């Protein structure tokens, strides 16, 4: 099986994907793409780049299956508990005071961050006051999340440890059902959640969110796409709305980001300027 991928071969795959799937990956970080392409070639049991490219062009590889495998699972339940405590203690109470407030999770991959937010809203009695909108580029991922996902118990145990550090209100086991070595989350939490099958880097977005959560994802982009996505996110916020980027990201070098005012440097939380 293929173990490495050069720049030329990576660009061949990028071109084939753009032509056949109308999915433009040219401004994604090349190192990240190489790792994902190797993973995808293993998944489709293909070790020769030219054969893989031909299969893409001839529609022998399903687009949705490709996007599903391209999507990175990079989070866990209650990852960075201090961030979720900050939401609970400061930001959610504030935005809940405005009728019709919406939170947009703009780049969900496997659902852990969504279920974390919903548990937080449930424990703060805000599930009926704040609407949650979720975007994911993979239809398969959306269907999986709607069914509660399917998570290894090892990941659930990590999430439970994070929940304890977050100082949750109940026994974490109330939120999932174990199925052998895996678990599914309680789908009752999803009542009222709106799902959209869109790719934030390419598709159009709405412009009425009071909070957008897009944590630790911008690192996948080169500068032109980074600026394009930041522009979409900031344009989708109402004046005074919050953008949550997570502690691995920053707007420090973004021209578009100058429209945003930092409100928490540690957690990289920004507010859209009123002026």
Convert the pLDDT of each residue in 82-105 to its tens digit. 999 999 999 999 999 999 999 999
d(Cα 13, Cα 219) in Å, to the nearest integer?
A: 21
Are 52 and 41 contacting, i.e. CB atoms less than 8 angstroms apart?
yes
d(CA 261, CA 264): 9
Encode pLDDT of 23-54 as tens digits: 999 888 888 899 999 999 999 999 899 999 99
The tokens for 8 are: 């030329």
Contact 114, 105 (CB under 8 A): yes
pLDDT band for 19, please (50, 70, 90 cuts).
Answer: very high
Write 253-256 long-range contacts (CB < 8 A, 24+): 254/226, 254/227, 254/230, 255/227, 256/227, 256/230, 256/231
Strands 260-264, 131-135: pairing kind: unpaired
pTM score, whole prediction: 0.92
Sequential DSSP letters for 87-107: IIIIIHHHHHTSTT-EEEETT
Q: Where exactly are the structural domains of the chain?
A: 7-70, 81-149+186-272
Report the residue count for the chain: 275
pLDDT, residue 155, reads 93
> What mean pLDDT is reported for the chain?
91
**CA dihedral of 112, 241, 91, 199, whole degrees rounded to 10:** 0
Q: Which two tokens stand for residue 200?
A: 């934030």
Neighbours of 115 (CB within 10 A): 24
Which CATH superfamily groups domain 81-149+186-272?
Vaccinia Virus protein VP39 (3.40.50.150)
């Amino acid at each position: 099986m293929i173990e490495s991928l050069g720049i030329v071969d990576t660009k061949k795959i990028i071109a084939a994907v753009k032509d056949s799937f109308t999915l433009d990956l040219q401004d994604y970080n090349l190192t990240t793409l190489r790792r994902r392409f190797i993973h995808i070639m293993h998944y489709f049991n293909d070790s020769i780049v030219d054969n893989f490219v031909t299969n893409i062009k001839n529609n022998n590889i399903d687009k949705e299956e490709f996007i599903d495998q391209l999507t990175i699972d990079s989070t866990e339940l209650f990852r960075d508990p201090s961030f979720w405590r900050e939401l609970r203690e400061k930001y959610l109470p504030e935005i809940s005071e405005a009728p019709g407030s919406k939170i947009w999770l703009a780049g969900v991959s496997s659902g852990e961050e969504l279920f974390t937010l919903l548990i937080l809203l449930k424990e703060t009695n805000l599930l009926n006051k704040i609407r949650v909108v979720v975007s994911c580029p993979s239809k398969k991922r959306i269907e999986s999340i709607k069914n509660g996902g399917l998570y290894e118990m090892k990941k659930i145990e990590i999430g439970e440890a994070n929940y304890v550090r977050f100082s949750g209100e109940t026994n974490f086991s109330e939120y999932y059902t174990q199925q052998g070595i895996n678990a599914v989350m309680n789908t009752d939490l999803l009542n009222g959640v709106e799902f959209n099958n869109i790719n934030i880097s390419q598709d159009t977005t709405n412009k009425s969110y009071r909070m957008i959560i897009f944590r630790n994802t911008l690192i996948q982009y080169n500068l032109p796409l980074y600026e394009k996505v930041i522009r979409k996110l900031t344009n989708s916020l109402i004046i005074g709305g919050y953008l949550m980027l997570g502690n691995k990201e920053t707007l420090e070098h973004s021209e578009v980001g100058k429209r945003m005012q930092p409100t928490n440097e540690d957690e990289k939380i920004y507010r859209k300027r009123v002026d």
